[in-house]
Chains A and B, each alone.
Chain A
Amino acid sequence: MFGLLYLAILTITLVFLVVQVFKHKSTPIDKARREVEKEVQKEFQIKAHQLAIDYVKTTQIAECDVRYNSLQNWKENAHKYYIDYNAQVAYEMEQLNVVKIGFKFKESL
């Protein structure tokens, strides 16, 4: 009796898990986003490198001359970098949709 009860609970759990698996399945849009992110990351690596160099410079300046503003500027740049990154990914995704819509429109003709 206990065994059957356990199997019944296990069956319900399995059904729940299968539903979760289908719910979290990746879609073609997810795959496209991942590819776009890879490309954008490559472009932003150069900017990230420049930011790393600036960090060392501005920290030195701030320590020596107590020019706190330069460090603040660096922080602003770093913040802008992350905003730019997300905006670039969103822009690329938008472009991808435009291409897709254009292709569908062409096909319909």
Chain B
Amino acid sequence: MMAVYSELLYQLNNWLWLISIVIPILVFFAGRSSQSYLIVATVWCASHFINLKLEPWLWELATSRSDNLIYWFSTWASIDALCIALIVMAHRYVNIKLDFEAFSISVCLAGLAFLQIATYLDGVVWQTKLLQEAYTVGVNTGHVANSVILLFPLITGAKEFINSKRKVV
């Protein structure tokens, strides 16, 4: 059951970048975007693109020697931390607060970064290997969750539209 779920998430992850680009464009043209939303969507799309480009090269480097596994986990954790820093700094620069989407994606990215660190400690340092399954499912679920969060303005917009129609009737 879990293996099927992991496989489904992995397959979905390959399409996720395309979905992550299309959703903000739709939200923008629907007039539901805010400055905060656009900042977080740009950071997320850029980081996802870098992830996709970096993954094969980094996997080769990490699996060439057992000592190199640190590069795999630390790179992903660093990218996540960098994304959060960029989101916070951009918001401070424009002098706005983090909206629901920016806040949720930042927390999700922090969770993913902590998961990377915990998995390295669990699998390589302590050799307990308790988080192997949680890592595969957690990372892919986190990526899907981030893209789903970007959909929220469209969902709330549709909800408001339906409510306004009901009031008219």
Among the stretches A14-22, A52-60, A64-72, A81-89, the one at the interface with B is A14-22
Chief secondary structure at chain A's binding surface: helix
Would you call B77 and A10 a contact (CB within 8 A)?
yes
- For residue B26, which residues in chain A have a CB less than 8 angstroms away from its CB? none
A32 interface residue per 8 A CB criterion: no
- For residue B48, which residues in chain A have a CB less than 8 angstroms away from its CB? none
Binding site for A on B (CB under 8 A): 36, 70, 73-74, 77-78, 80-81, 84-85, 87-88, 91-92, 96-100, 103, 106-107, 110, 113-114, 117, 120-121, 125
Would you call B125 and A17 a contact (CB within 8 A)?
no
- For residue B84, which residues in chain A have a CB less than 8 angstroms away from its CB? 14, 17-18, 21
Q: How many residues of A contact B (CB 8 A)?
A: 17
Would you call A10 and B97 a contact (CB within 8 A)?
no
A4 interface residue per 8 A CB criterion: yes
Question: Separation in Å of the B167 CB from the closest CB of chain A?
Answer: 19
Would you call A3 and B74 a contact (CB within 8 A)?
yes
Would you call A21 and B97 a contact (CB within 8 A)?
no
Would you call A26 and B88 a contact (CB within 8 A)?
no
Would you call A21 and B103 a contact (CB within 8 A)?
yes
30 sample A-B contacts, Cβ–Cβ < 8 Å, listed by A number: A3-B74, A6-B70, A6-B74, A7-B73, A7-B77, A7-B121, A10-B74, A10-B77, A10-B81, A10-B113, A11-B114, A13-B81, A14-B81, A14-B84, A14-B110, A17-B81, A17-B84, A17-B85, A17-B110, A18-B84, A18-B106, A21-B84, A21-B88, A21-B98, A24-B91, A24-B97, A25-B97, A26-B96, A26-B99, A27-B97
